[in-house]
A and B are shown apart, each in its own frame.
Chain A
Amino acid sequence: MVEKVLKGSPKYYLWLLFLLGIIGYAFVVYVFQLMYGLEQTGLTRNTSWGFYIAQFTYLVGVAAAAVMLVLPATFHHYHPYHRVIVFAEFLAIGAVIMCMLFIVVDMGQPQRVLNVILHPMPNSVMFWDATVLCGYLILNAIIGWTSLEHESRHVEVPKWIKVLVVVSIFWAFSIHTVTGFLYAGLPGRHYWLTAIMAARFLASAFCAGPALLLLGLLLVKRLSGFDPGKKVVKSLSITIAYAMGLNMFFYCLELFTSFYSGIPGHADPIVFLFCGHEGLNVWVTGWMWAAVVFAFVSIFFLAIPKFRANMKILPWALGMLIIATWIDKGLGLLIGGFAPTPYETYEVYTPTFWEISVSLGVFAVGALVVSILWKIALEMKKEGGEPFALAD
């Protein structure tokens, strides 16, 4: 199976080479961070988490999104998804690997990372997060690999895999719930201390992740001719629309509690994110408003069947949705979470060139993993005689 990686067009090789180039560059930058410490980042005493942890959070959501295909296919026997499920599982593998790398590059003492396993503290949500992420990686690797192998050889998938699939469905919900708990259990961080955090995380994950997957599948169709099928595209975009609707609804619930109660602790971070603070250059406000616009435009196109079914509009709507959810989680969540400081003062975190470089490298690793795994999946499907073009 692995040898399939080596067979490809010059374009495929150039793409891999390009990713390796970025990874190499980011690695050099990371070596500097290792040598000089997190001094290189825009983090401060009051804003102790930033771009790295934000990307980690976003990608846990991308990983969890596979469940939006696995669940209907398993519990509701929705067969069209079987054709593309392996792509969702392999995307999850790439996402979890990126999550782990983002955690490691964020650590002050990365060589001690095993302390989390050698001295496990069940009190710590981060210990549980590490555990569920590792478990999810293993689950997806086993399920994806085994089912792909069996399907391509036209053999019935073994029973124990079906058990693991059911486990993975619940597991997917757990990974993003636990990630929500990382934030939602901290006293004194107003923006995070909200019971709806995990639910909001799940809703944003279940729109952003499938959107990323669908964009990827549409790209694969153009590159390799492998058609995911109209039914898959249709039901996935409906799922995305519902999840995005929920995600936006949940955010509005936050707005209500914050502004109707009038409690400064609830309202301050949101005011800071959208309107800034006296005289401070809060660069993120522009991004937050852009996210609002993108969110409404994307939900408009996704919610109306006529636009959703239009293949010229759909990719744009998906793209805007990904940007909107990324700004919410990848920028706003952390910057809003640390505003105000414990002394009710304000400061603005800005990721540095170093952080963005290292993050690009981690994204490139993820893209490389997903490219290779998807390549294998496509080749296996070809070998198994699965038709690439579909009639309906």
Chain B
Amino acid sequence: MKASRRYFLKVAGLSTFAMAAGAAKADAAYEGYSEGLKAKRWAMVIDTRRFQKPEDMLPIIEACHKVHNVPSIKGPKEIKWIWDDTFEHAFANDPNPMLPEDVEERRFFLLCNHCTNPSCVRVCPPGATYKTEGGLVAIDYHRCVGCRFCMAACPYGSRSFNFKDPRPFVKEINPAYPTRMRGVVEKCTFCAERLEKGLMPACVEASNGAIMFGDLNDPNSIVRRVLAKNFSMRRKPDLGTDPGVYYII
């Protein structure tokens, strides 16, 4: 009996120690990459003058969808993180029948605006959609219940729902990024996982400088310098969401 009690105490003591050590180790594991890019308010500037035809946009869309395992499902139940559309559709609340010809024919990238006041975050019942440091709007795919309230709340139509298992529709799975399961919502993340490793978002990297990305709060950042010299627009700014994607016209 005595021996077994000593044994029990030994094991208990060791476990406590191991747990404490484990907890300490776990804490350390949560420290971000030291090379990670940091900003107070990430923002994107798209120089739309450099995108006239759908062919100009396709490589960028593919770069994003490939790295994030976005399934290619066609039709009204499609899933997309970044895509292109006309001025009339992209800036639906700024109808202008007298647009210059080149603007009328131009294509505009559409993606999540990573709003400062995101209505999707406001409505999400379990907090699966949330704002991170740097103003990114992120989704926890494991907490999402698939109620699609966020899709009704997003005035930009930036969110897609996995109506079915998306995995069979991903051509080439990128093991570095998680695939999703059916029944959850997904959208552009401003490449939070790449920023963390010191990389620019995939679309920015593929755009040959036509898409710029930086800290809106830093007057010396590329986005601030570009916006200071060029007229830009945002989608539906009247709704008070304060979108983080700027379009140079």
Q: Is A224 an interface residue (CB 8 A)?
A: no
- A301 CB, min distance to chain B CBs, angstroms: 37
A103–B181 Cα distance when bound, in Å, is: 20
A130–B119 Cα distance when bound, in Å, is: 19
Are B90 and A343 interface neighbours, CB within 8 A?
A: yes
Contact A109-B146, Cβ < 8 Å, known A186-B152, A186-B153, A343-B85 = yes
Q: Is B19 an interface residue (CB 8 A)?
A: no
Are B89 and A345 interface neighbours, CB within 8 A?
A: yes
Question: A120 — which chain B residues lie within 8 A by C-beta?
Answer: 126
Q: Is A44 an interface residue (CB 8 A)?
A: yes
Are B124 and A121 interface neighbours, CB within 8 A?
A: yes
Q: Is B97 an interface residue (CB 8 A)?
A: no
Interface set, chain A 104-140, CB cutoff 8 A to B: 106-110, 112-113, 115-116, 118-121, 123-127, 130
- A116 CB, min distance to chain B CBs, angstroms: 5
A285–B75 Cα distance when bound, in Å, is: 24
Are A115 and B128 interface neighbours, CB within 8 A?
A: yes
Are B154 and A342 interface neighbours, CB within 8 A?
A: yes
- A32 CB, min distance to chain B CBs, angstroms: 12
Q: Is A37 an interface residue (CB 8 A)?
A: yes
Are A44 and B76 interface neighbours, CB within 8 A?
A: yes
The listed residue (A45, A112, A342) touching B76 by CB distance below 8 A is: A45
Minimum CB distance partner of B148 in chain A: A48
Interface set, chain B 142-178, CB cutoff 8 A to A: 143-149, 151-157, 160-165
Q: Is B134 an interface residue (CB 8 A)?
A: no
Are B153 and A49 interface neighbours, CB within 8 A?
A: no
Q: Is A39 an interface residue (CB 8 A)?
A: yes
A112–B143 Cα distance when bound, in Å, is: 7
Interface of B is mostly: loop
Are A39 and B164 interface neighbours, CB within 8 A?
A: yes
Q: Is A43 an interface residue (CB 8 A)?
A: yes
- A342 CB, min distance to chain B CBs, angstroms: 4
Contact A187-B239, Cβ < 8 Å, known A43-B163, A106-B147 = yes
Q: Is A200 an interface residue (CB 8 A)?
A: no
A41–B163 Cα distance when bound, in Å, is: 9
Contact A39-B77, Cβ < 8 Å, known A126-B149, A187-B155 = yes
Interface set, chain B 99-133, CB cutoff 8 A to A: 119, 121-128
Q: Is A46 an interface residue (CB 8 A)?
A: yes
Question: A127 — which chain B residues lie within 8 A by C-beta?
Answer: 125
Q: Is A72 an interface residue (CB 8 A)?
A: no
A185–B164 Cα distance when bound, in Å, is: 29
Q: Is B88 an interface residue (CB 8 A)?
A: yes
Q: Is B136 an interface residue (CB 8 A)?
A: no
- A40 CB, min distance to chain B CBs, angstroms: 9
Are B147 and A126 interface neighbours, CB within 8 A?
A: yes
Q: Is A141 an interface residue (CB 8 A)?
A: no
Are A38 and B155 interface neighbours, CB within 8 A?
A: no
Are A188 and B149 interface neighbours, CB within 8 A?
A: no
> Count of A residues near B, CB < 8 Å?
47
Are B163 and A341 interface neighbours, CB within 8 A?
A: no
Question: B161 — which chain A residues lie within 8 A by C-beta?
Answer: 38, 43, 45, 48, 108
Question: A266 — which chain B residues lie within 8 A by C-beta?
Answer: none
Are B124 and A38 interface neighbours, CB within 8 A?
A: no
Q: Is B60 an interface residue (CB 8 A)?
A: no
Q: Is A151 an interface residue (CB 8 A)?
A: no
Are B182 and A108 interface neighbours, CB within 8 A?
A: yes
Contact A124-B89, Cβ < 8 Å, known A45-B157, A109-B184, A116-B145 = no
A341–B90 Cα distance when bound, in Å, is: 11
A37–B73 Cα distance when bound, in Å, is: 15
Are B123 and A119 interface neighbours, CB within 8 A?
A: no
Minimum CB distance partner of A47 in chain B: B76
Contact with B along A369-388 (1 / 0, CB 8 A): 00000000000000000000
Question: A260 — which chain B residues lie within 8 A by C-beta?
Answer: none
Are A342 and B157 interface neighbours, CB within 8 A?
A: yes
Minimum CB distance partner of B236 in chain A: A188
Are B77 and A342 interface neighbours, CB within 8 A?
A: no
A287–B232 Cα distance when bound, in Å, is: 44
A106–B161 Cα distance when bound, in Å, is: 13
- A227 CB, min distance to chain B CBs, angstroms: 44
A248–B208 Cα distance when bound, in Å, is: 58
The listed residue (B127, B146, B156) touching A108 by CB distance below 8 A is: B146
Q: Which of B88, B144, B161, B163 has the most A CB atoms < 10 Å from its CB?
A: B163
A123–B79 Cα distance when bound, in Å, is: 27
Interface set, chain A 75-129, CB cutoff 8 A to B: 103, 106-110, 112-113, 115-116, 118-121, 123-127
Are A123 and B163 interface neighbours, CB within 8 A?
A: no
Q: Is B56 an interface residue (CB 8 A)?
A: no
Are B147 and A37 interface neighbours, CB within 8 A?
A: no
A340–B92 Cα distance when bound, in Å, is: 10
A to B CB contacts below 8 Å, 19 in the list: A38-B163, A44-B77, A45-B151, A49-B148, A49-B152, A107-B183, A108-B144, A113-B145, A115-B125, A115-B126, A115-B143, A115-B145, A116-B125, A124-B125, A125-B123, A126-B149, A189-B152, A265-B93, A343-B90
Chain A residues near B (Cβ < 8 Å)? 36-39, 41, 43-46, 48-49, 103, 106-110, 112-113, 115-116, 118-121, 123-127, 130, 182, 185-189, 265, 337-338, 340-345, 347
**14 additional A-B residue pairs with CB within 8 Å, beyond A124-B127, A186-B153:** A38-B161, A39-B77, A41-B163, A43-B77, A45-B161, A48-B152, A106-B147, A108-B184, A109-B184, A110-B146, A120-B126, A124-B125, A342-B155, A342-B156
Chain B residues near A (Cβ < 8 Å)? 76-79, 85, 88-90, 92-93, 119, 121-128, 143-149, 151-157, 160-165, 181-185, 236, 239-241
The 7 closest A-B pairs by CB, nearest first: A108-B146, A188-B155, A108-B183, A342-B157, A44-B76, A115-B126, A343-B89
